[in-house]
Each structure stands twice: as structure tokens, then as C-alpha cells.
Amino acid sequence: MKRRRRRAEDIALQRIKRLFELAEADARKTDTKERSRSDRYVQLAREIGMRYRVRIPSHLKMRICTGCYSFLIPGKNAQVRLRGDYITTTCLRCGKQMRRPYKAPRAPSPRRK
């Protein structure tokens, strides 16, 4: 039973990564106003993650607006600014500002497994 669940989680993670690849390819070739397909890919990836209780990897999660859940591309529908200790990404569709720190991610805690 545990093996089957693990396999489903692995497949879900692969699908999430593939959907983000498709969203990237579609967003690069289409105009700013016609982003519905790449946003739909992001929506599907979120639904898969919630259904199978799989986290979207952090490097992909930074490409999603936390306000309107659109796929962000710096320079097209997102504005990236460097602040003192953090990077600010502003969604140009809804105006939501997201911050993330400069410093490297910490190593996982030895107590957590």
C-alpha cells in the first residue's frame, strides 16, 4: 500500500514538472494578453499537487503569482526588483508583490525525516 502511494506521488511530481515546462513554452511564444493556456497548466499542476498531497518544488512555486495564480515571466507579466535583503516580484496582472530572500536555503534539519 505504501509503495503504491509513493509511486502515485512520484508520477504526480513528474506531471507537475511537465505542466510547468509546457506553461513556460506556451508563455514564451504567445502574447501577454493570451496567457490562458499557460495559466491553465499552472492551475492543473496545483490541482494535481493538492489531490495527491505533493508539494510543488520551490523553484517552480516562485513562478506562480500567489494572488491570481498566473504563470509569471519576468519582463512580460512580472516585474522583478532587487531590494536590500530580498527580491520583490510584482505581478503585473493583479499587482500582488511577492518577496523572497537573497540568502541560500538552509540545509534540512537532521531531526526531521
Domain that holds residue 88: 2-101
**108 domain-assigned:** no
The most distant pair of C-alpha atoms in the chain lies apart, rounded to whole Å, by 49
Mean pLDDT for the chain overall: 89
- How far apart (Å, rounded) are the C-alpha atoms in residues 67 and 32? 18
φ/ψ of 41, rounded to 5, equals -60, -40
Q: What is the pLDDT of residue 95?
A: 94
DSSP for 18-67 reads HHHHHHHHHHHHS-TT--HHHHHHHHHHHHHHHHTT-PPPHHHHTTB-TT
Residue 83 placed within a domain: yes
User: What is the number of domains present in the chain?
Assistant: 1
Please indicate, yes or no, if residue 57 is contained in any of the structural domains: yes
pLDDT tens per residue across span 79-91: 999 988 899 999 9
* pLDDT band (50, 70, 90) for residue 112: low
Whole-angstrom distance, CA of residue 107 vs CA of residue 90: 28
What does pTM read for this prediction? 0.81
